[in-house]
Each structure stands twice: as C-alpha cells, then as structure tokens.
Structure 1
Amino acid sequence: MTLDTDPPPTSAPTQGRIRRENVERILKAAELVFAEAGCAGATMADIADRAGLPKANLHYYFGTKEDLYRAVLDNILRLWLTPIQALTPEADPATALTAYVTAKLELSRTRPHASKVFANEILHGATQIEGFLAGDLRRLVDAKAAVIDGWVAAGRIAPLDARQFLFMIWAVTQHYADFDVQIRKLLGRRALTRQDFAHITAGVLQLVLRAAGLPDVETPELNPSPPNA
C-alpha cells in the first residue's frame, strides 16, 4: 500500500473564506492608497505592500489597477447607500433622520478614506461612476426626495426642498472625513476622538432636525465648546 504524503486539498468553504479575507484586505488597502495618491498616483505595488500580500495576489483577484479602483468605488457606494434606506414613508421623520445622520457621521469617523476616494473621483470628473450618478443614484435620490415631500405634504416636517436637504446632509456629514485635517487644526487635535464625534453628531442633528421643523432628540449634551481630547 502506498501512503499518500501530499497535503489534503483545501476544502471549498476554506477556499471561499480565504478569498473573502484576501479581497477584503486588498479593498481596505486600496481604499487607503487611492485616498492618499488618487487613482493616477497609486500603484499596485503600493497597494500590495499596504495589504501585506504579494503583488501577484492583487492581479489574481483584480486584473488591473482600474479594475481594483472600480471595485473600491462599488464597495464604498454599497456602504454609503445602506443608511439612506431608513427614510421610508411610514417612518417617524425624527427617528429616521437621526438614524441616517448618525450612520453617515459614524462612516466619516470609521471610514474617512472612503469619503476621500469618492470626493477625488467627483473632483476629477466622475469618469468611473458617471453612469451610476445619472442612473441608479438619481433614481434613489428621486425616491427618497419623494418620501421627504410626502412628509412635508402630511405636515410631518416643515416645508423644504427635499433634494437640497439631502445634499446638505451629505455635505455636512462628509465634511468631517474629507476635511479632517482642517477640522483637527482648527480644534487643536491630533485626532478626532469618539467624544469629539459624539459632540459633532449632537450638533449636526440639531441643525438637521431644526431645518425640518422637528424637536431635538436626546443626544450627548452639547457643551458651549468642543470637549478636550
């Protein structure tokens, strides 16, 4: 009898797990490198080094840098579009808006580079996502604007321009990711802490809810000045 000394083949579930883990590592590393260098300045070698993987692994999962860049953008958009689903016709406006704003600011805290990648793409003409902006995103914004218009018509919130209201929420919440250097310098911080973001969230919610004619919700106490880090 001949003994089989070869290692057992990797099971399909294990292969799937390894693939998911590698893809996740690559996407996170690419998000950081694209945020720092832009698509034009980033290299697959830089991303592989940041991911701690051989460059060949990147090309195995993503054929080109452009393929990887589009995958990063797709991942960011899926991440961002989930919180807006809280805006539904039957939802309580104050509760839904609070959940949406809080989720957006939490993404600015935990995934600031994602916001910077998206901002860079827009600033450079949105060449990779132009179709998405004019198609799927426009339809989504139309649908959520209709929800807000319904709230207005039912007297549940104050009259306002629904699309401009959404744009304002995006601008304010993403500002803390895109312009974090400016925010930190002006507040005298080396980094924005959880306490800082609790204070920021309370302030932004106050502005958003008051713009909609809604009472303030219970949030971390607003101090006259931001808390010290």
Structure 2
Amino acid sequence: MAKDEAPTRIQRDRRRRIREAGLEVFSAKGFRGATVDEIAQAAGLSKPNLLYYFATKEAIYTDLLARLLKAWLDPLRALDPEGEPMAELLAYVRRKLHLARDFPRESRLFAGEILRGAPLMGADLSGDLRRLVDARAGVIAGWMATGRLAPSDPHHLIFSIWALTQHYADFEVQVRAVLGDVRDPWAEAERHLVTHFTRLLTPLVAI
C-alpha cells in the first residue's frame, strides 16, 4: 500500500483487532511476558499477517502507549482555568476515576510501563506530560494564592489524584476481595474521593 493511500476498511479492522489483542496480552503479561504469537492468536490472525501491520512486538506496544497517554491526559486538559476551582478539581477527580473504571487494562498497561522505568515513554513523560502538569499546577497554585482553595503543593495534589483514582483499577481484585460481592467499589470510591478532596481543598474560614 502506498504511503499516501488511505487504509481500507479491512486494514483498519485488522489494526483495531491487533491493538485490542495487544492490550489484552500486554495488560495481563507485561511487555516482556507477551509474545507476538500470543497477540496474533488473540487477534485471530496469522503471525505473518500481524507483522504486515506492525513489524515488531515493540511497535504494537508503542502504538498502544501513544494512544493511551493522550487519553490519560485528556481529563487534565479539560480542567478549565476560568472555572470555579473546587468544581473543576472535583470534576477532574471524577473524570480520572471513571477513566480508570472504564479502561482498567489501559491503566495496568500504563502502570507496567512506569514500573519498567518507562523505557518507551520517558521522553513523553518529561515532555508533553510535564508541560501539561506544570501548566495546570500553575493554575491550581493561582487559585490557592487567592484563597479559593486551601494551600498545598499543586504537583503533589495532582499526583495524589492519580494515585487514589488509578488504585481502584490497578488493584481492583484486592479492593473487591476486601469489600465483598455486595458492595460497589466504584460508587463508594467516588463518594469517598469527592469527600476527601473537598475537605482537603476547602479553605479554612478565619474566625
């Protein structure tokens, strides 16, 4: 296929199937544990057919990570500097929690890459991710400086939101084992996290 030729419906479908299979295998076994043969089998394709679309296992993994990072940053991009501070931050908490709930395999894939030392995402983490976090931390710092939010370190506030929301995806088996079958961990998590961050960020009223 020529470089400027648009992919056919079949080609788009096969790429989608490969990405879905890669996500399933990588999130379960990690990068090192996954094989091209397993991904091809999960995609319902022969190994040569898969390698026509993605030349290596690393190519599939890198493609997934690039798409994942964009999705992971979208909730932070949606934080509106002109909005009401508490409402904006609580909306961000909810968006991050819902992202973890709806895409648990992606969350585990991202966590696995970080635990490997981010060999394929290092430049993105210190580039696009850092620039966006710095910009939003500056917005939050401005809200805190004017007394609209209780003071804390904006960067570590963002880290806390990441940790507390993604925990429910990365350790869902543990959470469900502790809570039991009759409780909904995601609904309870949302109520808890909204209460937690409201208390953390509400400015103290001077007496």
Q: TM-score, normalised by structure 2?
A: 0.88
CA contact (8 A) 2:77 2:132 kept: no
Q: Distance in 2 between matches of 1:158 and 1:16?
A: 54
- CA shift, 1:81, in A, is 0.7
Q: What secondary structure sits across from 1:82 in the alignment?
A: helix
Q: Distance in 1 between matches of 2:193 and 2:170?
A: 16
CA contact (8 A) 2:23 2:105 kept: yes
Residue of structure 2 equivalent to 1:54: 46
User: Which of residues 16, 40, 45 in structure 1 aligns to 2:37?
Assistant: 45
- CA shift, 1:117, in A, is 1.1
- CA shift, 1:47, in A, is 1.1
Q: Distance in 2 between matches of 1:77 and 1:65?
A: 19
Distance 1:19 1:208, change over 3 A: farther
Distance 1:183 1:70, change over 3 A: same
CA contact (8 A) 1:83 1:103 kept: yes
Q: What secondary structure sits across from 2:70 in the alignment?
A: helix
Q: What secondary structure sits across from 2:196 in the alignment?
A: helix
Q: Distance in 1 between matches of 2:31 and 2:91?
A: 32
User: Which of residues 106, 113, 117 in structure 2 aligns to 1:114?
Assistant: 106
Structure with the greater relative contact order (CA < 8 A, sep ≥ 6): 1 or 2?
2
Residue of structure 2 equivalent to 1:208: 197
Rg larger for: 1
Q: How many positions carry a matched residue from both structures?
A: 199
Q: What secondary structure sits across from 1:87 in the alignment?
A: coil
Residue of structure 2 equivalent to 1:35: 27
CA contact (8 A) 2:26 2:109 kept: yes
Residue of structure 1 equivalent to 2:180: 188
- CA shift, 1:198, in A, is 1.9
Residue of structure 2 equivalent to 1:199: 188
Distance 1:17 1:206, change over 3 A: farther
Residue of structure 2 equivalent to 1:9: none
C-alpha RMSD of the superposition:
2.0
CA contact (8 A) 2:168 2:186 kept: no
CA contact (8 A) 2:15 2:53 kept: yes
Percent of matched pairs sharing the same residue: 47
Q: Distance in 2 between matches of 1:154 and 1:57?
A: 59
Q: What secondary structure sits across from 2:81 in the alignment?
A: coil
Distance 1:51 1:213, change over 3 A: same
- CA shift, 1:142, in A, is 0.5
Q: Distance in 2 between matches of 1:36 and 1:20?
A: 24
What is the one-letter code of the residue matched to 2:144? V
- CA shift, 1:84, in A, is 0.7
Q: Distance in 1 between matches of 2:12 and 2:88?
A: 32
- CA shift, 1:173, in A, is 0.3
Of 162-171 and 124-133, more deviation after overlay is shown by: 124-133
Q: Deviation digits for residues 84-136 of structure 1, max 9, x if unmatched?
A: 11223201222222221112111211211111111111111111111111122
CA contact (8 A) 1:89 1:150 kept: no
CA contact (8 A) 1:108 1:176 kept: yes
Q: Distance in 2 between matches of 1:118 and 1:48?
A: 21
Q: Distance in 2 between matches of 1:182 and 1:167?
A: 22
Q: TM-score, normalised by structure 1?
A: 0.80
Larger % of helix: which? Answer: 2
- CA shift, 1:50, in A, is 1.7
Gaps of 5+ in 2: none
Residue of structure 2 equivalent to 1:130: 122
